[in-house]
Amino acid sequence: MKNNLFTTLKEVLKKDDRFLSQDWYLLKNQIREKTNSLDEKLIELLLENEFLKKKFFKKVKNTFIFDINKFSQFINNKEFLADSYTSFKNKIWLTNKKWDYLANSWEIVLSWPYKDCTLAWWQTKEDAKRNEIFYNEILASDEIDRLLDEKVFTNFKRVNKDWEHKLDTFKRNKKINKARWLPEDTITDNLLIKWNNLLALHSLKSNFAWKIKLIYIDPPYNTWNDSFNYNDRFNHSTWLTFMKNRLEIAKELLKDDWVIFVQCDDNEQAYLKVLMDEIFWRENFIWNLIRKVWVAVRLDAKHISRETDYILFYTKNEDKLIVNKEKANNMESYPYSDTHIKERWKYKLNKLDRWSINYSDKMDYEIIAPDGSKIYPWWTSEKNWWCWRWSKDKLKWWIENDFIKIKKTHKWWNVYFKQYQFVDNNGNKIERANPYKNLLIDWFNNEIWNKELKNLFWKSNVFSFPKSEILLKRLLEMVTNPWDIVLDYHLWSGTTCAVAHKMGRQYIWIEQMDYIETISKERLKKVIEWEQGWISKNVKWKWWWEFVYMEIIQENEKFIKEIECAKNDEELLEIYETIKNNEFINYYVNIESIDENINDFKDLNLENKKRFLIELLDKNLLYKNYSEINDKNSWVSKEDKKMNKEFYN
């Protein structure tokens, strides 16, 4: 009878795609989740089957009431969906006094890294992807805080014009720097940090809390687009939790007049805006910058070609926001100059003729070109006449005072009037707001910088969708001054820090993927070597500078790497023998029970062996905590101990 019930329930549940994995296995956790939320679709499925209706519903006055307790007990039964892996795991896992498995108990909580979606160490190229890359772990609530302890760093290097060297000391300011508002002993080195960005952000707090002026990040867009190196396939709620945990700690690093830019697209923009309103406060939202991503319309779109993405823009102190507005807008808004630059500043050109509903004969006259030919206002048809903007008398004054420019375009003469920055059309001094535009087009797209990266590395397809240096220059010059600290913890190809380096801003950048070595760091080396691409000449980049490279030491993470890379059972058994006697296994794992059932372990397939060994490891100890650096069994080198002590000061 029980087996019949098991079989019937499985067949019914398989009708709902939400409960099926990619390889067509039923997802027990997903079924539990929908049961607890009284999911309507699930209840409808059960009601449609008469056998299941009798088992899990009570009839009260012609109404069927779902017996959630009975159904929950049934699906939590270790015999339900118990494949060989689950059966073996259940033999060794802890139970409470009621003999319920802890995995099904309310006495513990699901927490990081289940909710945090930690990116897997091995995801270093585009074809190394899973639907959800994180360790699905159950952690006791009093164990969670250790995950976010300060971590131990290793592989310290100083990279300068003489290449890479072992780091012997960090550079710090010797006294309070009032110009930069930095306290005494603040690290002044540029930092490039490899491995998990959430843990790195928590490890930066002791040095950089309340010191960073600008955060710019370009996180995974959650698009299901396989061209991204990150796991860009998070489900919606998981992606938001991933963002929330990092934004909350990043906020603790920002100084009083902070600014943050977060790039995204339509997939999560609306939800991300609400999340950032909560963390950074809605009143600190400035604007949503809209960027044109592609030069030409993409013809591979099914219905609508998506040509834009967005940059959410928040700041604490809007009054101190635009520090270089005049300089930044001169090239774009007012690109020309003449002999009147001291009193009028730069100017832009506007055509003197225009179509007007109120056509006037007084403003329809001839103007003599430099070659003696006559110029008339342009017209589109007999009914849509154009005329000059001003009368003939006013034009005479404009010509005498050098407000008019006549130039030939191809074979046609055009008449323009000069609109200056600091004087109006009558020559009176004015103050223009000269605001930045929220529409970023022309030189801000990805395609232009993609070509530049190819030239920089002498090969094609260096990186997918790199951001333009001109885009980052615009953002940095909008809100920062030289020596302000800039943070980017989704580094990608390294555009943010390459631009910050050229513009003389101190920077901190964090990246987990291996291309930090082959692309990001190598690109910055080229900057130090004085490459003259894109903004280099514009900002007159002529000096060397340097940066410090460092990595978070892996602890259990290195075992996970070995397990994932194992090619056969012999290698996995060897790894098991190595880890079973160390302190990195979860405290509640019964090693004796595993040894007693080792034949059952051997019967598992290779993937399930790997999965099981990874679950043995304590995910609190993925990386080495700084508080444990001097433990007796610590294998951290003397050099690393010295540099960590100096870093944490």
Phi, psi of 348 (to 5 degrees): -125, 160
Contacts 24+ apart (CB under 8 A), 279-283: 279/244, 279/247, 279/248, 279/251, 280/247, 280/251, 280/314
* Of the candidates 544, 577, 469, the residue with the CA atom closest to the CA atom of residue 162: 544
Distance CA 29, CA 153 (A): 36
Q: Which amino acid is at 404?
A: I
Antiparallel, parallel or unpaired: β 386-388 and 353-355: antiparallel
How many Å apart are CA 289 and CA 195, to the nearest integer?
A: 30
Supply the DSSP symbol for 125: S
Q: What pLDDT does residue 138 have?
A: 46
Instruction: Write down all domains in the chain, each with its CATH number in brackets.
Output: 2-82 (no CATH), 149-326+441-552 (3.40.50.150), 334-433 (no CATH)
Omega within 30 of 0 (cis) for the link into 377: no
pLDDT of 557: 78
pTM, to two decimals: 0.67
Q: Which amino acid is at 433?
A: A
Structure tokens at 470: 């001109």
First-to-final CA distance of the chain:
67
Confidence (pLDDT) at 105: 47
Q: How far is Cα of residue 635 from the mean position of the Cα atoms in its chain? A: 33
Is residue 549 packed enough to be buried (19+ CB in 10 Å), middle (13-18) or exposed (0-12)? buried
* Nearest one of 319, 333, 324 to 505, comparing CA atoms: 324
* CA gap 631, 152 in Å, rounded: 13
Antiparallel, parallel or unpaired: β 374-375 and 367-368: antiparallel
The residue type at 291: R
The pair phi, psi for residue 646, each rounded to 5°, is: -70, -40
The angle subtended at Cα 173 by Cα 172 and Cα 176, nearest 5°, is 140
CB of 490 closer than 8 Å to CB of 217? yes
- The amino acid at residue 207 is N
Cite the DSSP H helix spans in 68-124. Answer: 68-75, 84-92
> What does the alpha-carbon distance between residue 474 and residue 472 come to, in Å, rounded to a whole number?
5
Q: What is the 3-state secondary structure (H, E, C) of 385-451?
A: CEEECCCHHHHHHHHHCCCEEEEEECCEEEEEEEEECCECCCCCECCCCCCCCCEECHHHCHHHHHH
pLDDT tens track for 311-339: 999 998 777 665 555 544 444 578 888 99
What residue has token string 């990092």?
246
Distance CA 400, CA 234 (A): 66
Q: Which amino acid is at 79?
A: E
Instruction: Assess contact for 521 and 549: CB atoms under 8 A.
Output: yes
Which amino acid, one-letter code, is at 640? Answer: D
Task: Tell me the Cα Rg of the chain.
Answer: 32
Using 70 as the pLDDT threshold, list the residues of the chain that sit under it: 1-3, 22-24, 77-79, 81-145, 177-181, 223-235, 238, 295-301, 320-332, 354-358, 379-385, 433-434, 448-465, 515, 543-544, 583, 633
C-alpha closest to that of 484 among 182, 172, 158, 176: 182
The per-residue pLDDT for 552 is: 93
- Count other Cβ atoms within 10 Å, centred on residue 229: 23
Q: 590-610 burial by CB neighbour count: b if 16+ within 10 A, else e? A: eeeebeebeebbeebeeebbb
Q: φ and ψ at 415, to 5 degrees?
A: -110, 125
Residue identified by tokens 């549940």 is: 13
